[in-house]
Amino acid sequence: MGHLSTATFYIAYFVIPLASLLFLSGYRIFLHSLRDYPGPTLAKITNAYAGWLAIRKKQHLASYHDFQRFGSPVVRHGPAQLVFNTPKAFHDIYMNPRTTKGQAYRASQLAAKYPSILNAIDKDQHRRKRKFIGLALTERSLRSFESTMSMQVDIFLRQLLRSSEQREIVNLSPRCQRLGLDIIGLLSFGYHFNTQTEESHRFLQEVIDSMSWRINVYMAFPFIKPLESVFMLCGAPKLLKFHRLVTDMIKKRMSEGKDARHDLYSVLADHVGKNQEGLYKGELWPEAILFIMAGGSTTAAALSAAFFYLAHNPKVYDKLATEIRSTFKSGRDIHSGEDLRSCKYLRACIDETLRMSPAATVISWRHIDPKDASGEPWIVDGHVIPPGTQVGVPFYSLFHNEEYFPDSFTWKPERWLDPPGNQSEEESAARAAMHNAFHPFQAGDRSCLGKPMAYLEASLTLARTLWYFDFETAPGVPGLVGAGTEGKTDGRGRPNEFQLYDIFVAEHDGPNLVFKPRAGVCKDLE
């Protein structure tokens, strides 16, 4: 009986699970409806492939590598996931009224009943949220908020002035992140984080990065979402501090009149009710978390990258500095309006930065809406997508596709300027294809509502910095921070590329720069 029990134990706990695993692996590799698509073998078998990449913060690099390795514009990224690398696929996926966000987004929801505008899968629910949240981010709303944004940019500049007087090396990543946090706190709930000038709330960025990383891992490998409580214990003190801060922020704003100021709450108040079902269960909480996590981080990544590329490209730096300093008579004249819009090279530098180093490193998964009753096949760039398949386009890969962006790893703002003279049909077609491939803020009904704010914040910050200061890369080893390391073969071997780390919204460090005030122009900052 003892021998029989031992044999039964091994069969039950080893043989059967192993046989099941082998059968499942064989099915997914040789019999699955996606079997003919190229991709890493492990990706065909399990989502653990994507999960491991997310843990290592390199999904964007791996996707780019897979497209190069397999020489195909479509690659299998998971057992039931395909990634594409063409503008046609982008259009067929994200600008298709029949699609909705993939099930992967459920892993990012704080509560299934109250998703945020980012992770709402139901299209009707998303449409309702987008309608009223969009009221806080219209061009008109931003004009009324610009003076507040401008004051925060001035604080950013005064901090640079103080550092320059003390001959400090400045790491732009934390500086830009603090600027973004202070702006988004005021825009969303009129709350002063004051991270640019005080230490007390600077823990926010660490918590945001940690939460973003976990969400990214859960989306890539939902199987480990049940372990969330274990992961949260690792950062429990700061996470609890974060929750208390957000709670205080919301309660403080709710205690004021709805029209005390024009911010996110002023347009949400009539839609979420007064009681908030204990606050945490209501719709206000997930939107507050989203605004804090994503609202400032995306622009901070773009600004940090822009400073990196300007410091590493002296000719571009000189051309942009000349444009800014010849357009405006003083730093106080730099605000939204015709003069700022006339700075075409500034916009080209921002767009080229968004192309080279897109802040959205996550893959935005889509599938056919379960409510779709058309019965028509879903075709993406000529490929019929089997039911149950999630598809997406990695921005980093598409924006470095040589077919649409020649010299794709060269930061070249001139590619966005209108060329002089007449163009041939071939040149016009290539230019149209380039623009068709560039959607850094998404497109369609899920496009980013914060696009106008991001461009305004980036434009004001870069233009004013170049008005008041000259800057360059810090000498020696500190100046290497943020750059790739020559000789590396893991996608991080390009010294002239600002390095991003995939945690849903890009994590980054550097560049380290040295600032020098321009003679006679910084008095109005003092």
User: Phi and psi at residue 383, in whole multiples of 5°?
Assistant: -105, 125
pLDDT by residue for the chain (526 residues), tens only, comes to 455 566 565 555 566 666 667 767 887 898 899 999 999 999 999 999 999 999 999 999 999 999 999 999 999 999 999 999 999 999 999 999 999 998 889 888 876 677 888 889 989 889 988 988 888 888 788 888 999 999 999 999 999 999 999 999 999 999 999 999 999 999 999 999 999 999 999 999 999 999 999 999 999 998 888 777 777 777 778 888 998 999 899 889 888 888 888 788 887 777 665 544 544 446 778 888 888 888 889 999 999 999 999 999 999 999 999 999 999 999 999 999 999 999 999 999 999 999 999 999 999 999 999 999 888 999 999 999 999 999 999 999 999 999 999 999 999 999 999 988 788 889 899 999 999 999 999 999 999 999 999 999 999 999 999 999 999 999 999 999 999 999 999 999 999 999 999 998 999 999 999 999 999 898 888 7
What structural domains does the chain harbor? 32-525 (1.10.630.10)
Instruction: Note whether 74 and 39 are within 8 A (CB).
Output: no
Place of tokens 């010294």: 495
**Angle formed by the axes of helices 172-189 and 451-468, to 10°?**
130
Instruction: Note whether 513 and 311 are within 8 A (CB).
Output: yes
Residue 67 β-bridge partners: none
At residue 272, the pLDDT reads 61
Residue 176 in marked binding region: no
CB atoms inside a 10 Å sphere around CB 43: 24
> CA distances (Å), 181 to each of 131, 153, 203, 387, in order?
24, 12, 11, 41
Place of tokens 């395909």: 82
At residue 271, the pLDDT reads 65
The tokens describing 462, both together, are: 């870069």
State the Rg of the chain over Cα.
24
At residue 325, the pLDDT reads 98
Comparing CA positions, the residue from 369, 392, 365, 384 lying closest to residue 98 is 369
What is the Cβ-side half-sphere exposure of residue 232, based on CA atoms within 13 angstroms?
13
At residue 9, the pLDDT reads 52
Place of tokens 């039911």: 387
Run of H or E residues at 362 = none
At residue 279, the pLDDT reads 44
165-177 burial code (b ≥16 CB/10 A, e <16) = eeeebbbbbbbbb
At residue 114, the pLDDT reads 78
**CA dist., res. 279 & res. 252, Å (int):** 12
**CA dist., res. 446 & res. 130, Å (int):** 9
- Residue 202's Cβ-count burial label (10 Å; 0-12, 13-18, 19+) is middle
Instruction: Note whether 194 and 184 are within 8 A (CB).
Output: no
> CA distances (Å), 85 to each of 217, 236, 394, in order?
22, 39, 7
Instruction: Note whether 56 and 41 are within 8 A (CB).
Output: no
Residue 59 β-bridge partners: none
Which pairing describes strands 81-84 and 390-392: parallel, antiparallel, or unpaired?
parallel
**CA dist., res. 47 & res. 102, Å (int):** 14
Place of tokens 């010299």: 407
At residue 276, the pLDDT reads 47
Place of tokens 């009943």: 113
Instruction: Note whether 305 and 311 are within 8 A (CB).
Output: no
Alpha helices (H) along 333-372: 338-341, 344-356
**CA dist., res. 526 & res. 522, Å (int):** 7
Place of tokens 């850094």: 440
What are the contacts of 271-277 at 24+ separation with CB within 8 A?
271/132, 276/250
Comparing CA positions, the residue from 191, 197, 200 lying closest to residue 148 is 191
Its pTM stands at 0.94
Q: Is 170 helix (H, G, I), strand (E, B) or coil?
A: strand
